[in-house]
Amino acid sequence: MIIVADNLHVINPCIAKAMAQMDAAPIRQMVQRCQKAGAGAIDVCSGPLKKSPRENFSFLVKTVESVTSLPLLLDTTNADALEAGLQVCTNKAIINGFSLEPAKLETILPLAVTYRTDIIGYLLDANSQVSVDAQEMMATAVDLFKACANAGLPPQQLIIDPIITPLSWEHGMRHNREVLSVLKQLTDLLGFPVRTIAGLSNLTSGSYKVSSKIKVAQTFLPMLAAAGLDMVLINMDHTDVIQTAWMCKDLLDFETFSWAQVNC
């Protein structure tokens, strides 16, 4: 399981300000902190970038690349910004992401074909809604693979994000259990190893105690990992969750056990 840092996010006021002002220092510091904390990839989440999207996003990508060689998840809904980012990106790039929403199919998906990158497909319907039911999510996954095939993208380049929702949402508990079921079934359904990613922080969005959120994340993450999740977006400041992620990796991937290995 690859740990993807979700810290470089426009929702963080300090990062938002640095992005808007094209101030490299806070961005570099954040990336270095994430890398030191064990990130295996960095999600670069700029938001929609209404002003100067191309300049802003390419600045962002170049700034991140100046301090890391980790793969970057280029995370914006703005196709212009995304293309500018892809043009300057020399690290491995993954587009994050597209859904069956017509605008996304038309503007985002073709960029993965042009720039030969992996792309994340969200299990959302054409109206950007999540399904509660695993069978509906599986049908959406099949549609995403079909969309890739139609666009000329090899299916192995699609990474499925089943979309973890807040537990407090109506049907949030059931939806997230169905996500576990979907993760277990995707490879069997599609007939090849389907890669998957999920954003763990979504589970407990809202103004709760951070310590409580961390405990819930630490309990759900091993379930996701054992269900076969390949990549997980985590806040790298949550060191207990990071430790759980390493333990998951060790318990599920390693042949021999040592305490040093699990950082205990």
Which residues here bind a second copy, judged by CB under 8 A?
Answer: 167-168, 172-174, 176-177, 180, 208-209, 211-212, 215-216, 218-223, 225-227, 243-244, 247-248, 250-252, 254-257, 259, 262, 264
- Closer to a second copy by CB, 97 or 228: give it: 228
**For residues 240 and 157, what is the distance between their CA atoms, to the nearest angstrom?**
31
Q: Which is nearer to a second copy, 113 or 216 (CB)?
A: 216
Helix (H, G, I), strand (E, B) or coil at 83: helix
Q: How far is the CB of 188 from a second copy (least distance, A)?
A: 13
Fill in the amino acid letter for 219. Answer: T
Q: Which is nearer to a second copy, 127 or 211 (CB)?
A: 211
Q: Do residues 160 and 123 make contact, with C-beta atoms less than 8 angstroms apart?
A: yes
Nearer to a second copy (CB atom), residue 8 or residue 221: 221
CB of 195 to a second copy, least distance (A): 20
Closest distance of CB 255 from a second copy, Å: 6
In the complex, what is the shortest distance from the CB of residue 226 to a second copy, in angstroms, rounded to a whole number? Answer: 4
Neighbours of 26 (CB within 10 A): 17
Distance separating alpha carbons of residues 161 and 124, to the nearest angstrom: 9
Q: Using CA atoms, how far apart are residues 91 and 234, in angstroms rounded to an integer?
A: 20
Ramachandran bin of 38, using left for φ above 0, alpha for ψ from -120 to 50, beta for the remaining angles: left
- Name the E strands within 87-165: 93-98, 118-122, 158-161
Report, in Å, the least distance between residue 161 CB and a second copy.
19
| Smaller CB separation from a second copy, 52 or 181 | 181
DSSP string, 109-120: HHHHHHTT-EEE
